[in-house]
Structure 1
Amino acid sequence: MSSIGSGGGKSSKPSFVSYVTPEEIKPEKVISKKEKLPDLLQGEVVFCSAGTVLKYTQDDLPQRGVFGTLVCTNFRVAFVTDEVPAEEAAHLFKNKLYGENDIPLSCVDNIYGGNDDKKKLLTGGVVKNKFPPRIIIHCKDLRVFQFSLTYCKEEDAKRIFQGIIHHCLEPKPLKNIFAFAFCEKTAFPEMKRQQRTMMFDSAEDWAQDMERTKGACRLVTENANFDLSTLLPQFFVVPANILEADMTLFQGKGLPIWCWSHHSGCALFKTSSLPLLQEDDVAQSYMEKMLTAVAHNYLFSVKTEDLSDTLPTLQDIQLSYNKFKQFFLIDNSTDFWVSDMKWFSSLDSCGWLDIIRQCLQKAVEVVECLEKENTNVLIMEEGGSDLCCVVSSLAQLMMDPHYRTLTGFQSLIQKEWLAGGHSFLDRYNQLHLKDKENVSPVFLLFLECVWQLLQQYGPAFQISETYLTVLSDSVHIPVFSTFLFNSQYHRASGLMAESPHSQRGPLNCPAVWDWSVQFDCRAQDLFINPLYAEKPKQDKSVRKSHRPKHQRQLSLPSSAFKTPPKRGFFKEEADSLKKMLRVRRISRWMLSPDSQPSSSTREFYEAWQRRPLDYHGQLLPCLDGPWVRVWTQRYLRWIHEVQIFGGGLVTIFNKVYDLQDEVQELQRQLDSQGCSWATNHQRPRAQGSTAENDARVSVRLSSSFPFTMLRTNWSYKPAIPTSLLQNLMLSGNLADREDNADDQESII
């Protein structure tokens, strides 16, 4: 392959230095008339483009690819092919915002400069002399793109290369995120749902959820204008004994926020930790008062857990995931087959699956405290908005079937993550800041844990695996207000301050739950699990009659925690309560990442296993051995070498979807014809068997459906590197070799 790297070095000065604000760019002066452009969204501005760019395919043939135009806008890096797309390759799961050859700027993870067989990580800045002839882009959704600039004009190649580096890697202010330009010029219709997703931005939502779970706590509305604290949500729920003066003492830090109430009366709370010093008597007395208020919620008992001591740090999570994702960012087929030689040991060494196991195990321990021991649980960490969100959300998913429905799951994320103040903007580095200490895929860790539950108890969840995968991708689309801010205060102030026309009020950025912004109705059908076992209505009364309230009181905590005869118990026994609260910690069950659950937790799990499985009751994940798996759809969907053509779970789901369509069509016929449909001799054709379904059948499905389709020009043969093959042959007859660990692993 010819290279233009040397040609770029002869230029005395680059034609491109840096970009200014998008408003000062004149797109018509940059774009050639012969170059193709993508269909631009409202507010999308083209910064630069280059024609005759070669996009490589992901195989072992370096010259294989398609030519087209590479474009950089304020929303994405787009490649528009010169070829006319084949009819059979039409994508049935098309995203309205970007195509399969588009990369949202927030989705760019790393950019490498390639020259021959070498590549170098690029960190930003302006390339003054040389620029590599090949650009390799690794995306956060694990796609890999390789573009060759060899055949471009030198000036266009420099401009597009430096433009991509600048807009994808350089820091930017919040107002330059595409959502502000897009939402200012786009009118979003009101979301239509049969059941509303509660946003938890109003007092009514909190009151409704507390009433549904029979919570006996106090709704706080004094922070509606963030007068109490900017760290707290506008509306939240706290134990009844907490006063308004307690909320303002440490600006919301150390305040126990209600998450969920068990039907027995105990509840789950979370809080941010206070940096307690031995001489800080005010902070210590404040925390003791908060613990007393939580304990007073039910049976005067509480267990505390500092997740900062028992779960990995944010830096550990980020480091582990960085190692883990490298096994799925495949540049070509040869790299895949090299990594396949030691696949399982490599995955195990990065520790990502073990972190998932730890979070699930911690949630099971919280469930045990609530269900078996009937104690209040207070989980805490330094900020109270990362691992607290993970554990509290998982515990509620395991115990409350409402949160396993589509709208319930979305409401859970709104309550625990959005209202809980998770820093989406910082954790995913949406502004491309150089300081990456706060970057950590905590929300992805939560979705990973949910996927594990979905795999083990599929009929218990209304959401599908495809829904979780699309949700993980949507985090990196800079359009939705859901993932653009660090707190409710940040969201409210940001949308108001950045509005160009303040008299119209704040910008109306859609929530990610408005799926019509991305997909049509037919594509959204794939978000629903076709195997979901919907609960019959008549079971509601049965469930109420089977609540073993009196039986559970037989396993209550020790008599020291029972309701005292005197109302002044906490005042008189403050010292003894403080001692008991300090020793009653969940953390004794997990002292190290390799530790096993305690005998108590094991007995609790085994007792639950002996009961008949109820998909609308309590669910506890199995964490032994191979039960914790790799999220195959998300991580392997772009690697065609591992796809199962015509097989996998997609074949089952696809058949069930077709049967559901046929049943629904028959039901519509019954409703419209009043049971006179029997007079029609011709069998009604199901809606799922119309044009779209015919197109689905005409294209050979693979296990990665609906994200990728079969490509006839793909190569599937293993490409074993020459060096590895020579090492195998030089060692003599393979049949005479002694087995070793590496050989056994490669065979497996």
Structure 2
Amino acid sequence: MLSLGSGGAKSSKPSFVSYVTPEEIKLEKDPQKKEKHPDLLPGEVVFCGANPILKYTQDDLSQRGVFGTLLCTNFRVTFISDDAPQEEMSKTFKNKLYGENDIPLMCVDHIYGVYDEKRKLITGGLVKNKYPSKMIIHCKDLRVFQFCLTFTKEEDAKRIFQGITHHCLEEKSLKCVFAFSYSRALNPDHGKSSRKFLTRLDSKSEMLRKREAIMFDSPEDWTQEMKRTKAQCRLVTENENFELSQRLPQYFVIPSALGDLFSYQGKGLPIWCWSHHSGCALFKASFPSMTQEDGDFQSHLDTMITAVARNYLYSVKTEDLSESLPTLQDIQQSYNKFKQFFLIDNATDFWLSDVKWFSSLESSGWLDIIRQCLQKAVEVVECLEKDNTNVLITEEEGTDLCCVISSLAQIMLDPYYRTLMGFQSLVQKEWVAGCHAFLDRCNHLHQKDKECHSPVFLLFLECVWQLVQQHSPAFQFSETYLTVLSDSVHVPIFSTFLFNSAHHRESVMKAESPIAQSRPLSCPTVWDWSVQFDSKAQNFFFNPLYSEKVKHERTVRRLHKPKHQRQLSLPSTAFKTPPKKGFFKDETDSLKKMLRVKRISRWMGSPDSPVVASREFYESWQQRPLDYHGLLLPSLDGPSVRIWMQRYLRWIPEVHIMGGGSVAIMTKLMELLSQVEDLKHVLQQRDPSLATQPDHPPPLQQRLPSFGSSGRLSSSFPFTYSNNRSFKPIIPTGLMQSLMVADNLANQEDEAS
């Protein structure tokens, strides 16, 4: 439409308005293309597809995008662009299982439909109605996809919309998860060749186990860990066939003084986590069974505490985490509020939310929950390191917040768990073998019971990230490794995060085995990173600034071996050797009084509160020389607890810093380290005696990933790369008008002068 203005005079501004988008013009000119299919994984089957589908780009409200084919398989929702991908081929950090336009079914969080320009959350009732004009998918890794269905035939649009919502949102059986189809496709069905293949697979998995992680699924693994930490406890093998309880691991460690295990009915057993070099240890336990009478319940509880107390010096401190930390429902609600600020549909919504960014984050309470968990872990560390007392942490099931606090305490105390292999072994020990209910907490099957859903494992990774960003040289693994691990929880291929307990895993794997009555099905573990990434991409998992420990000679190490004399602050009766076997029976009342007084949670208000005491403990630790291979404590004041920038902001282009951010800092530090090593090499050539240091770490160039030129990288590297789109911020109308007024005033003053 062309308007000439009033009186037939020419308009000073062009007034041409096009009611046809460039995409529609392209669609009219180009004939409809055939549906494309991706490279399917073993066992992957396409359920439905539609073409053409317009995928919007996340830039502004102009709704630009690219045309392609949208498919739904038993593994993912995938979009295949009609244009040849150029940026994807040049990536050095690329996932083998899925690309940037793929969404694993377990990764889908919510689906919204746009009806008459109004966004509605898709539920079972809306699926039966007419299909929406636009479909918006929010992912658990915080990606946002928008697909336009108006250019597609009505039958195809209905089929793809109903297919995606059904396979992503409806409740499903565990047998429908893609991991079983994938594993059965990799394993031959029957015959001698299958047995040979499984033998080779077992030998390969055994090699990966020795190289990557300790699985803690055998008595040898637990014995090795007890020997490493010099634990004076007892290994339990009576539950190998789950005769004790289906809620307990196959193998676990308990205090040596614990009596009949069958009387506990699988509840209230103090399970060993880790031993301090002084002799005290950390234990976790669920609440004893409430089916007993009140007197039996209290007697059971006292027996459990007494058994822990006999581990070392007859002293123990207990902590009920259900009283001192948020509930699972509080954690779920807080994270739901928190993640909404990162699920951005377009740039305009981002700038509108940016106006009240900090107040919104504060109101969600997520960072405060992270701070509370770190604070509680510091209190546990203080009891073990300073007071030299046993610690028993409890909660209802003993597999949620107990796993968070025990794992954080071990990372702060033991430098082995700050290495890549050590951290993976810690997750395997405390979470996987410790029977954390990953299936229920992560809601892999989209169950309607919201009470059991809670991102507990993500909360743990958040706390670990706080330690990594505060003490980077102390950790062998990088921030990228933690981000990839958080994404891998929702990839339906690995058995690591797919079950609620060891018994659940064993029973399902045996039932789904393709070889009847032979051996259980074998699924890959998440620690086999070669399934997802090649060797070059795995280099990004390692922290190039990691300060490796240089081993000294034994004579030097003996001279600096610390002697523990902190136990002088404990009651003198705690150090007396029991005169006879009936010591606990004769002096039960006095021991109970001593044990009950020693509780961690004597909450705020008094000078003896844990917060005040932990503050003194932290300040005294700060005064010591920094040792990245010794005790490590987090700072919890003010802005020290930060947002996990890489995980939450990597998909929002408006916050990307081209050639800046952590990539620029890392590149500069690597240049400085390279210069330092060159100087060391020159000194070694002049003085050969300097080159004979034992266990010297390899050259820096062999330990660093190839970042390339930082000028073409953004702060979200290595997950997103620079592209040709403009990064000019799109400011909301209100802010734009205020800025324009200021600019006009400035220009008017210049013109007047």
CA distance change for structure 1 residues 504 and 700 in 2, over 3 Å: closer, same or farther? farther
Choose from 706, 710, 717 the match for 1:705.
Answer: 717
- Note the 1:331-350 alignment, pairs <5 A: 331-350=345-364
Q: Distance in 2 between matches of 1:194 and 1:659?
A: 35
- Partner Cα distance (2:703, 2:245) in 1: 52
Relative to structure 1, the CA distance from residue 646 to residue 196 in structure 2 (aligned partners, 3 Å threshold; closer, same or farther) is closer
Q: Look up the SS of the partner of 2:712 in the other structure.
A: coil
Paired residues, what number? 682
SS in 1 for 2:186: coil
Asked if residue 70 in structure 1 is aligned to residue 84 in structure 2, the reply is no
Quote how far apart the aligned CAs of 1:46 are: 0.4
Farther-moved stretch of structure 1 (97-106 vs 579-588): 579-588
CA 1:645–1:699 in 2, change beyond 3 Å: closer, same or farther?
closer
| Offset at residue 193 of structure 1 (A) | 7.1
Give the secondary-structure state (helix, strand or coil) at the position aligned to 1:78.
Answer: strand
User: Relative to structure 1, is the Cα distance of residues 309 and 478 closer, same or farther in structure 2, using a 3 angstrom cutoff?
Assistant: same
Task: Name the counterpart of 1:82.
Answer: 82
Q: Write the letter of the residue equivalent to 1:84.
A: A
**Does structure 1 retain, via aligned residues, the 8 Å contact 2:713–2:722?**
yes
**CA shift for structure 1 position 437:** 1.0
2:391 equivalent to 1:377: yes
Contact 2:351–2:730 (Cα < 8 Å) also in 1? yes
Q: Tell me the distance in 2 between the aligned counterparts of 1:540 and 1:133.
A: 72
Does structure 1 conserve the Cα–Cα contact (< 8 Å) formed by 2:55 and 2:145? yes
User: 1:119 offset after TM fit, Å?
Assistant: 0.7
Residues 693 and 457 of structure 1, relative CA distance in 2, 3 Å threshold? closer
Contact 1:661–1:688 (CA under 8 A) maintained in structure 2: no
Any idea what SS the aligned residue of 1:71 has?
strand
- Structure 1 residue runs of 5 or longer lacking an equivalent are 4-31, 668-674, 676-685, 736-748
Cα deviations across residues 18-70 of structure 1 (Å, max 9, x unaligned)? xxxxxxxxxxxxxx981011110000010000011000011113330000000
Q: Which residue among 209, 223, 226 is the counterpart of 2:225?
A: 209
Q: What is the CA distance between 1:130 and its match in structure 2?
A: 1.5
* Partners of 1:662 and 1:687 within 8 A in 2: no
Cα deviation per residue 1:349-394 (whole Å; 9 max; x = unaligned)? Answer: 1100000000000000001100111110000000000000000000
Which sits farther off after the overlay, 116-125 or 58-67?
116-125
Tell me which amino acid in the other structure corresponds to 1:600: A
Structure 1 residue 566 and structure 2 residue 576: aligned?
Answer: no
Q: Quote the residue 1:635 is aligned against.
A: 648
* Counterpart AA for 2:277: H
Trace 1:366-445 onto structure 2 (pairs within 5 A): 366-445=380-459
Shift of 1:503: 4.2
Distance 2:499 2:555 in 1: 42
Residues 50 and 157 in structure 1, CA contact (< 8 A), matched pair in contact too = yes
Greater shift in the superposed pair: 179-188 or 352-361: 179-188
Equivalence map 1:560-639=2 (5 Å):
560-567=573-580, 568-589=582-603, 597-639=610-652
* Offset, 1:550: 4.0
Q: Is the 8 A contact 1:107 1:476 kept in 2?
A: yes
- After superposition, the Cα gap between the structure-2 partners of 1:571 and 1:612, relative to the gap in structure 1 and judged at 3 Å, is same
Equivalent residue number for residue 196 of structure 2: none
Q: CA deviation at 1:715?
A: 4.0
Equivalences for 1:666-685 in 2 at 5 Å? none
**Residue matched to 1:359:** 373
| Distance (whole Å) between structure 2 residues aligned to residue 491 and residue 710 of structure 1 | 42
- Cα distance between partner residues in 2 of 1:269 and 1:136: 46
Q: Which residue of 2 aligns with 1:98?
A: 98
> In structure 2, do the counterparts of structure 1 residues 601 and 544 end up closer, same or farther at CA, with 3 Å as the change threshold?
farther
Report what 1:20 is aligned to.
none
CA distance in 1: counterparts of 2:126 and 2:629, whole angstroms: 57
Shift of 1:498: 1.6
Aligned to 2:162: 162
Which whole-Å CA distance do the structure 1 matches of 2:82 and 2:554 have between them?
59
Q: 1:326 to 1:544 in 2, by over 3 A?
A: farther
Aligned position for 2:241: 225
For the aligned residue pairs, the C-alpha RMSD in angstroms reads 3.1
Task: Give 1:103's aligned amino acid.
Answer: I
Residues 70, 448 of structure 1: alpha-carbon distance in 2 compared, 3 angstrom cutoff: same
Deviation of 1:541 after TM superposition, in Å, equals 6.0
Amino acid at match of 2:656: Q
The Cα shift of 1:232 comes to 0.9
Question: Secondary structure, in 3 states, of the residue corresponding to 2:128?
Answer: coil
Larger radius of gyration: 2
Q: SS state of the match for residue 103, structure 1?
A: strand
Which residue of structure 2 aligns with residue 107 of structure 1? 107
Distance across 2 between alignment mates of 1:481 and 1:78: 23
**DSSP 3-state at the match of 2:66:** strand
Q: Is the Cα–Cα contact under 8 Å of residues 216 and 240 in structure 1 kept in the other structure?
A: yes
Secondary structure (helix, strand or coil) at the match of 1:130 reads coil
Alpha-carbon distance between aligned partners in 1 of 2:465 and 2:642, rounded to the nearest angstrom: 9
Structure 1 CA distance, aligned partners of 2:253 and 2:141? 36
8 Å contact kept, 1:68–1:79:
yes
Identify the range of structure 1 (536-545 vs 464-473) with the bigger mean alpha-carbon deviation.
Answer: 536-545
For 2:560, the aligned partner's letter is H
Counterpart of 1:61? Answer: 61
Sort the Cα spacing of 1:343 and 1:517 in 2 relative to 1 into closer, same or farther, 3 A: same
CA contact 2:212–2:528 (8 Å) conserved in 1: no
Q: How far apart, in 1, do the equivalents of 2:480 and 2:533 lie?
A: 13
Instruction: Give deviations 1:153-188, integer Å, cap 9, x for gaps.
Output: 111000000000000000000100000000111256
TM-score of the superposition, structure 1-length normalised? Answer: 0.86
Which whole-Å CA distance do the structure 2 matches of 1:262 and 1:84 have between them?
57
Distance 1:657 1:500 in 2: 50
Which residue of structure 1 lines up, in the alignment, with residue 324 of structure 2? 310
The structure-2 alpha-carbon separation of the partners of 1:362 and 1:193, relative to structure 1 and needing over 3 Å to count, comes to same
User: What whole-Å deviation, never above 9, does each CA across 1:473-517 have from its counterpart, x for those lacking one?
Assistant: 000000000000001111111111122332452111011000000
Structure 2: runs of 5 or more not aligned: 1-18, 22-31, 188-200, 681-687, 689-700, 747-753
Q: How far has the Cα of 1:582 moved from its partner?
A: 1.7
Shift of 1:536: 0.6
Residues 564 and 687 of structure 1, relative CA distance in 2, 3 Å threshold: closer
CA contact 1:337–1:718 (8 Å) conserved in 2: yes
Aligned partner of 1:433: which letter?
Q
C-alpha contact (below 8 Å) 2:47/2:73 kept by paired residues:
yes
Q: 1:502 to 1:365 in 2, by over 3 A?
A: same
2:213 corresponding residue in structure 1: 197
| Secondary structure at 1:232 match in 2 | coil
How far residue 580 of structure 1 moved from its aligned partner, in angstroms, is: 2.0
Whether the 8 Å contact between 2:130 and 2:158 is mirrored in structure 1 is: no
Cα deviation for residue 642 of structure 1 reads 0.6
State the Cα distance separating 1:141 from its structure 2 match: 0.2
TM-score computed with the length of structure 2 as normaliser = 0.85
Given that 1:60 and 1:719 are in contact with CA atoms closer than 8 Å, whether structure 2 keeps it comes out as no
CA distance in 1, matches of 2:110, 2:379: 38
Which letter does structure 2 place at the counterpart of 1:410? Q
What is the Cα deviation at residue 469 of structure 1?
0.2
